[in-house]
């Protein structure tokens, strides 16, 4: 069973004036996780007939191996850092194609989605270069 936090705009990475990186994080989706874990436990108890079933644990902030959602993308600069082509609002030549544009990873490894988006953005850049060359 795998679960993840739902997006929360207050969860973010910031940089202090002195260069210190700050991670602001508050877990979300805890009641849904507990319900899912209880359902899994009951199902395993019924199937295995055992009183002792290990259903995992919650990872803390040290278990963040697939960071997503650190740069939102969207059409409004007020609510997103990137436009729909993953270009920084207001910066003509800055594109971001890592996992930060994803609101969440769906509790699975997002690598293929990140690669597909990078190819999509690459196609956009090629079209843009051809348009400027013409």
Rounded distance, CA 97 to CA 119, Å?
Answer: 9
Give 12-54 pLDDT, tens digit per residue: 778 899 999 988 888 888 898 889 888 888 888 888 877 677 7
Are 86 and 121 within 8 A, CB to CB?
Answer: yes
What does the pLDDT read at residue 64?
Answer: 66
Looking at per-residue confidence, does 10 or 83 come out higher? Answer: 83
Instruction: Tell the residue number behind the tokens 């199937």, with chain if given.
Output: 47
Establish whether 124 is a catalytic residue.
no
Candidate list 24, 45, 66, 132, residue with the active-site label: 66
Give the global pTM: 0.64
Of the candidates 5, 13, 25, 4, the residue with the CA atom closest to the CA atom of residue 71 = 13
Measured at the alpha carbon of residue 90, what is the angle toward residues 24 and 18, in degrees to the nearest 5?
A: 40
What does the pLDDT read at residue 130?
Answer: 94
Of the candidates 19, 132, 129, 120, the residue with the CA atom closest to the CA atom of residue 73 = 120
Are 2 and 108 within 8 A, CB to CB?
Answer: yes
pLDDT higher than threshold 90 for residue 127: yes
What does the pLDDT read at residue 103?
Answer: 82
């Amino acid at each position: 069973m795998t679960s993840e936090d739902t997006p929360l705009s207050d969860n973010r990475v910031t940089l202090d004036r002195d260069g210190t990186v700050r991670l602001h994080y508050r877990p979300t989706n805890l009641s849904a996780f507990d319900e899912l874990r209880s359902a899994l436990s009951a199902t395993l108890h019924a199937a295995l007939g055992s009183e002792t079933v290990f259903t995992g644990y919650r990872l803390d902030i040290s278990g963040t191996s697939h960071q997503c959602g650190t740069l939102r993308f969207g059409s409004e600069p007020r609510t997103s850092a990137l436009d729909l082509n993953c270009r920084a609002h207001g910066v003509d030549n800055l594109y971001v194609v890592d996992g930060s544009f994803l609101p969440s990873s769906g509790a699975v490894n997002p690598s293929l989605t990140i690669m597909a988006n990078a190819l999509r953005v690459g196609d956009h850049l090629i079209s843009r270069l051809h348009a400027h060359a013409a």
